[in-house]
């Protein structure tokens, strides 16, 4: 009997991990520079959080959620996105009273029952940021600048920022009516989903991908032309900030985003380095979400992007294996006594921060040497009965081929393997031989 992967789910194998870590490290680095704190929310929430938060008429809620009953007959859902969970956490921990202003980021798996294709999966991974408790347009600009800088440090080219405003709840209500009037005469020529959307939420028609609907969508009015004075002023101020920060953008009047919680600013960041799935990041304001979940009126804004897409671009740019960290020492052991001494020495050296590997399959010396080469070990030490007894052995530098006799005392061997780090520090640091910035 064989077990296949579930459709839309996949393994991320050890050889691919360096690219994932590169992307994740960039997110963490940007979070450090912009001062966002990490939050980790559960993978499973009450279904109601998403039906209310993300919206009953959205594709996510109508078609894409992994919903199940637990043994206590509660309806639970694997999170399809992170914003609703972060908003829930804000209320769960009483931040609306204790610390209403929050700048948070997250990384992790999300689940949507979508048609799998390149860069689109059923279990996928998002990185995202959320700012809660501030309405000022400078926050919108900071969130967009974060997204932009992240792509810059990863070296992504051809960045394009699409910006729009869908206004406040009253603006949206009015705009829905305008859209209803626009689409009603042609609705019979549009897809079944759009027919349903016309009654439920005609804004959703604007993100329909069906070919039949495009001519009507292309002629639809734009939300930014139907804003109340406050929302229009907010958009003008956001644009002013983006200009000051020299972040180029296009106003896209038909950008509405596929989730119902958005208000005012919505944006997407695309890259010409991605093929058809060119949206790297999508985000916007959600000033009504916390209130919708039972909290006080609290503004919010954020974005999320798919890690798979970032990894795809990084892999295209640098094909082949990525440089991985080298092993400090491979201990080749001979005979039972050598293996016992080797295991003991390896464990002691690891306590000093040295990376060590050892053979566990009692193989001959040739095979162990091949393993050391494959692991790109910096050093090799052969440990047999004689060395174990004498407490001394020969350490081989695998790059230069030079050998020298060394003591097998773990502390002095650890010192030899790392007399300080490579970057010119004097060894008076706790970098354990990695790299550090000399003080």
Q: How far is the CB of 121 from ligand HAM (least distance, A)?
A: 5
Handedness of CA 288, 294, 298, 304 (dihedral sign): negative
Q: How far is the CB of 110 from ligand HAM (least distance, A)?
A: 7
Provide the binding-site residues for ligand HAM, judged by CB under 6 A: 81-83, 112, 114, 119-121, 124, 126, 128, 130, 258-259, 279-284, 302-306, 308-309
Q: What is the DSSP string of 315-347?
A: HHHS-SPPP-PPPSEEEEE-HHHHHHHHHHHHH
Q: How far is the CB of 257 from ligand HAM (least distance, A)?
A: 6
- Which residue lies nearer to ligand HAM by CB, 112 or 396? 112
Q: How far is the CB of 342 from ligand HAM (least distance, A)?
A: 45
- Which residue lies nearer to ligand HAM by CB, 261 or 418? 261
State how far the Cα of 348 lies from the Cα of 353, in Å rounded to an integer. 9
- Which residue lies nearer to ligand HAM by CB, 283 or 342? 283
- Which residue lies nearer to ligand HAM by CB, 82 or 410? 82
Tell me how many degrees the CA angle 137-143-145 measures, rounded to the nearest 5.
100
- Which residue lies nearer to ligand HAM by CB, 18 or 305? 305
- Which residue lies nearer to ligand HAM by CB, 291 or 386? 291
Q: How far is the CB of 310 from ligand HAM (least distance, A)?
A: 8
Query: Closest Cα partner for 10 from 89, 147, 120?
Result: 120
* 35 Cβ neighbours under 8 A, 6+ residues apart: 103
State how far the Cα of 16 lies from the Cα of 82, in Å rounded to an integer. 24
State how far the Cα of 409 lies from the Cα of 345, in Å rounded to an integer. 8
State how far the Cα of 398 lies from the Cα of 421, in Å rounded to an integer. 18
Collapsed DSSP state (helix, strand, coil) of residue 165:
strand
Collapsed DSSP state (helix, strand, coil) of residue 323:
coil
Handedness of CA 432, 434, 436, 439 (dihedral sign): positive
Collapsed DSSP state (helix, strand, coil) of residue 266:
strand
- Which residue lies nearer to ligand HAM by CB, 90 or 330? 90
Q: How far is the CB of 195 from ligand HAM (least distance, A)?
A: 23
Q: How far is the CB of 58 from ligand HAM (least distance, A)?
A: 9
Q: How far is the CB of 418 from ligand HAM (least distance, A)?
A: 41
Q: What are phi and psi of 410, to 5 degrees?
A: -55, -40
- Which residue lies nearer to ligand HAM by CB, 205 or 413? 205
* 348 Cβ neighbours under 8 A, 6+ residues apart: 410
Collapsed DSSP state (helix, strand, coil) of residue 305:
strand
Q: How far is the CB of 158 from ligand HAM (least distance, A)?
A: 16
- Which residue lies nearer to ligand HAM by CB, 306 or 338? 306
State how far the Cα of 412 lies from the Cα of 349, in Å rounded to an integer. 10
């Amino acid at each position: 009997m064989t077990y296949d992967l579930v459709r839309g789910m996949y393994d991320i194998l050890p050889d691919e991990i360096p690219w994932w870590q590169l992307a994740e490290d960039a997110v963490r680095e940007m979070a450090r520079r912009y001062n966002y704190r990490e939050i980790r929310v559960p993978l499973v929430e009450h279904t109601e959080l998403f039906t209310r938060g993300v919206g009953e008429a959205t594709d996510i809620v109508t078609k894409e959620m992994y919903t199940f009953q637990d043994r206590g007959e509660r309806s639970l859902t694997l999170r399809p996105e992170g914003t609703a969970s972060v908003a829930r956490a804000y209320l769960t921990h009483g931040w609306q009273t204790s610390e209403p202003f929050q700048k948070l980021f997250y990384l992790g798996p999300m689940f949507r029952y979508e048609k799998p294709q390149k860069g689109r999966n059923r279990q996928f991974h998002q990185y995202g940021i959320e700012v809660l408790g501030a309405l000022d347009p400078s926050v919108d600009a900071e969130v967009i600048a974060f997204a932009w800088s992240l792509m810059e440090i990863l070296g992504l080219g051809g960045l394009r920022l699409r910006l729009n405003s869908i206004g406040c709840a009253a603006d949206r209500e009015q705009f829905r009516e305008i859209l209803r009037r626009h689409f009603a005469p042609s609705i019979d020529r549009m897809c079944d989903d759009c027919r349903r959307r016309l009654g439920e939420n005609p804004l959703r028609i604007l993100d329909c991908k069906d070919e039949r609907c495009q001519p009507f969508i292309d002629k639809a009015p734009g939300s930014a032309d139907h804003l109340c004075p406050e929302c229009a002023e907010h958009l003008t101020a956001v644009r002013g900030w983006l200009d000051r920060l020299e972040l180029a953008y296009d106003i896209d009047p038909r950008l509405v985003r596929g989730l119902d919680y958005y208000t005012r600013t919505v944006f997407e960041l695309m890259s010409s380095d991605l093929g058809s799935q060119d949206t790297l990041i999508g985000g916007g304001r959600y000033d009504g979400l916390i209130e919708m979940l039972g909290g006080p009126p609290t503004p919010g804004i954020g974005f999320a992007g798919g890690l798979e897409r970032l990894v795809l671009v990084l892999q295209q740019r640098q094909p082949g294996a990525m440089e991985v960290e080298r092993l400090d020492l491979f201990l080749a052991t001979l005979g039972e006594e050598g293996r016992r001494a080797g295991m003991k020495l390896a464990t002691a050296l690891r306590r000093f921060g040295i990376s060590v590997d050892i053979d566990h399959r009692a193989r001959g010396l040739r095979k162990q040497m091949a393993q050391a080469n494959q692991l790109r070990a910096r050093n090799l030490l052969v440990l047999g009965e004689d060395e174990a007894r004498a407490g001394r052995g020969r350490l081989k530098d695998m790059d230069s081929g030079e050998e020298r006799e060394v003591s097998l005392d773990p502390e002095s061997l650890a010192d030899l393997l790392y007399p300080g780090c490579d970057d010119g520090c004097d060894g008076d640091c706790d970098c354990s031989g990695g790299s550090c910035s000399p003080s």
